[in-house]
Amino acid sequence: MPLILMCGFPSSGKTKRTQELKQYLSENEPNRVVHLVTEDVDLSKNELYADPQKEKISRGNMKSSVQRLLNKEDFVILDSLNYIKGYRYELFCVSKSCQTPHCVILCDISPENAERFNKSRPESEQYDDKILEGLIQRFEPPVSTNRWDSPLFTVQIDDTLPFQLILDSLLKRKPPPPNVSTQCQPLSSTNFLYELDKRTQEIVTEIMSSQKLSIIGDSISIPGATDKIILTKNLTIGELQRYRRQFITYSKMHPVDDSNKISNMFVQYLNKSLQ
């Protein structure tokens, strides 16, 4: 069902608004599940946003979770800063490919109030001053005239969420029509999905086995692929499965005529992702 993007400065009340909206949706649409997607809970906010690579991985994980959960029945709320315009556009394309509506809720707050609310948090939950300042400076506010930011609901500190308007925008509005870049094309063969799942899983298994005997910088030969995996770091099964899910999602939208190409395409995708 619809995708709801929370958006705003750090310490702007996004999580509080998310919980209010979740309760309202659960009470008024009891037959639909409300899924919450949030940032990596294994890292503190300062650890996450102090390292661009960790932040990038976290955004990728959230996007993958949205792709996995989004359907035509349930609600998905993404509770994060969502401060990058391009990232919001990517998520809009995800909802478009699922042919389901979406909306953006901006928790509008001044930088001064964000700093004040941050200081009122328990010390372990506060953003460092430099990180908070940097995130505020880099924030790209949603614009209602952008199709990926519309419909946009802007909420001030003392406002009550416009619950019914939000719900109506999600249930009474037609989803955006899919375009060439988001619409899943007909599968090129009846066995394509089976081969896609099987071969990518075999490659994940091969990498996990081979890297036990390899060191950083080694290349790993993959059966059925002419290219090799360049081992830039030790990979966990969780990381490989995440890349595998992303590749499968992409491949469903861009199937190939020859399933023998799958192995090499997945190896190339992994090498690019690991750079």
pLDDT 10s digits, 19-48: 999 999 999 999 999 999 998 777 899 999
Tens-digit pLDDT profile for residues 140-156: 999 999 999 999 999 99
Paired with 154 in beta bridges are 106
Pinpoint the residues of the chain covered by CATH 3.40.50.300.
3-171
Q: In the predicted model, is pLDDT for residue 190 greater than 80?
A: no
Predicted confidence band at 258 (pLDDT cuts at 50, 70, 90)? confident
Look up the CATH superfamily of 3-171: P-loop containing nucleotide triphosphate hydrolases (3.40.50.300)
Q: In the predicted model, is pLDDT for residue 252 greater than 90?
A: no
